[in-house]
Each structure stands twice: as C-alpha cells, then as structure tokens.
Amino acid sequence: MKHVMVIDDERDILTCLHEALTGEGYRVTAAVSGAEGLDLIARDVPDLLMLDLRMPDMNGIEVLQNVRRTHPDLPVVVCSALTSYKTDFDIVTGNVAAFLEKPLDLDVVIDTVRRLLNAEEPPA
C-alpha cells in the first residue's frame, strides 16, 4: 500500500485529504506542522508528500529544503492558495512534482496522486 503524507496546519484540510485518499486505498499520515512532518518523515518515509506553504512554525519552502537534503527523490505536491509561489525559485528548482491550488479539487488531488504514484511503480 502506497503511503502519502500530508503536512498542513488546517485540520479540516487534513481530515478531508485523509478521508479522500484512504478511500482510494492509500495509507495516509497527517502532520499539522512542518516540524511534526519532518519528524514523521525521519521515522517513516512516505511514497509521496503533500505540503502546504503557509504554516506558522516552519513554512513549506523550509520543509521542502529539509526534505530535499535527505530525500532528494521524494515526490512532493505543493498545495497552496498562494499561486504566486508557482514560479518561486525553490518550488521550480526543488523538484516539485505538482502545484495544486487551494481550495483543493478532490478529483484533481486524487488524479495527481494516482499519476505520481503509478509513475513510481516498476514496469510489469
């Protein structure tokens, strides 16, 4: 079972994504802060990371930079209402697999996760 981690300080978003993705058969881990997410990644590396940019303790760019030091190939999907960040240097050069705008469309989220995780499957 593929493992998706979601880091977002909005509990409603975490709950919504958890329900949608577990309903699709993924194992989902949620963190309400960047620091908590990094701690969880250190213990159990997911197959895909979904990451908010605006969080109070550590912003998503800082989390992304930390993740890239230890897991350079981990697919990351940035989820943010801050569409101006789509072209941010750290986003563009940080090997971000996708940028999804908030409010999130769950069909787009599920399609994106499926596409990225199926790309990770070895050929038959």
User: Which neighbouring-strand residues pair with 50?
Assistant: 6, 77
CB atoms within 10 A of CB 36: 16
State the pLDDT confidence band at 73, using cuts at 50, 70 and 90: very high
Q: Assess if CATH 3.30.1510.10 describes domain 3-115.
A: no
Answer whether residue 91 shows pLDDT above 90.
no
Phi, psi of 46 (to 5 degrees): -80, 170
| C-beta of residue 18 within 8 angstroms of C-beta of residue 28 | yes
CB atoms within 10 A of CB 119: 9
> Measured between alpha carbons, how far is 67 from 59 in angstroms, rounded to an integer?
13
State the pLDDT confidence band at 87, using cuts at 50, 70 and 90: low
Answer whether residue 121 shows pLDDT above 60.
no
Query: Percent of the chain beyond pLDDT 90?
Result: 75
**105-124 average pLDDT score:** 82
pLDDT at residue 11, as a whole number: 96
**67-76 average pLDDT score:** 94
